[in-house]
Amino acid sequence: MSTTAKILVTGGAGFIGSHTVVELISKGYEVIIADDFSNSHQEVIDSIQQITGVRPHVCSYDLRDHDAVSAIFRQHRPDAVIHFAAKKLVGESVEKPLHYYRSNLLSLLNVVESALETDCRRIVFSSSCTVYGQPEVLPVSEKSPLKKAESPYGNTKKIAEDILEDTAHVTALKAVSLRYFNPVGAHESALIGEYPLGAPSNLMPVMTQTAIGKRKSFSIFGTDYNTNDGTCIRDYIHVTDLALAHVAAIDRLFSTEGQGSYEVFNIGTGKGISVKEMVDAFEKVNNLKMKYDITARRPGDVEQVWADTQKANSVLGWKANRSLEEMVASAWKWEQHLAQKSTHSKTL
């Protein structure tokens, strides 16, 4: 493997994408970002440069446009792709299923077709633990049965995996799908983090926005689940650990080992943390007290899920190392940075 290889990162200005770009650059890869900035911010590129000292080239195109995607591949000739770009709001996908199928699957098809046309044979796909639904056995391994998706968003991940697996079997494509669990936290510099354009639906930004005063309170959806404290259990993983898993997957695709044409890995910590435990940790570590409401269960929420990470640990040589305390501390530091930035811009 040559660390001078060129990696195209679709959705590279987003939460997970931006952290992955930082780690790729730090490893010596050349990075091209393709992002339409429909759910991300242009200033993230400045922050990536501030962290790494390198400004990645940015292609601002809609990946549903086949000609635009083809032009990116012909111009830049990437050696590999990490495909993050997708619509990702579960509730919105239920309301607008056709929009999600068109956006998430058409963009993938355009990327894969353009990659093969330009002899780019390596792709890492951003998949999700949603493909497991509510598993019957915990923790879930890559061999666990896949359940019918709870939402069109989840179904696009399952269909996308099928597209990649079927294509890899009959072409020169080598693909890796990373099924990750619940990314939280922010870069240690506090220069990049989770930065939703609209109202967030994930627990961590809802908590940090409540703590900073953007929201009066937040909701815990259900305390009557069959768990230790009645709240849902998830496998929360620090976004930097998740980013490093993508670097490990890229490294593997460039290696000469005898891996198959298509591989799947769970990316989590292997530990289940309840919603209440996450809230308590956030308050304790950051010395805060927040207002929250106990409300009814939210439709579509899985009761509990966490990962069996043995395959990623042994085959990828990757392991999540950052603690729950680091997750909540870095997320709060990032929210404070955003507040300072906002205050500064208003005084100019």
Catalytic residues: 153
Rounded Cα distance, 73 and 296, in Å: 48
The β-bridge partners of 179 are: 127, 266
- Cite the beta strand spans of 88-217 per DSSP E: 122-128, 174-180, 182-184
CB-based contact 14:83 (threshold 8 Å):
no
CB-based contact 42:116 (threshold 8 Å):
no
Q: How far is CA 12 from CA 20, 39, 42, 166, 172, in A?
A: 8, 11, 11, 26, 25
Q: How many CB atoms lie within 10 A of CB 215?
A: 17
Rounded Cα distance, 284 and 205, in Å: 17
CA angle 85, 90, 92 (to 5 degrees): 90
Q: How far is CA 238 from CA 19, 181, 187, 260, 329, in A?
A: 11, 10, 9, 28, 11
* Amino acid identity for residue 348 in this structure: L
Give me the residue label for tokens 């493909």: 131
Q: Is 82 helix (H, G, I), strand (E, B) or coil?
A: strand
**Listed residue (180, 157, 334) closest to 243, CA to CA:** 180
- 253: tokens are 């695709």
Rounded Cα distance, 84 and 104, in Å: 10
Q: How far is CA 77 from CA 110, 124, 143, 175, in A?
A: 15, 16, 35, 18
Report CA Rg, the chain.
Answer: 19
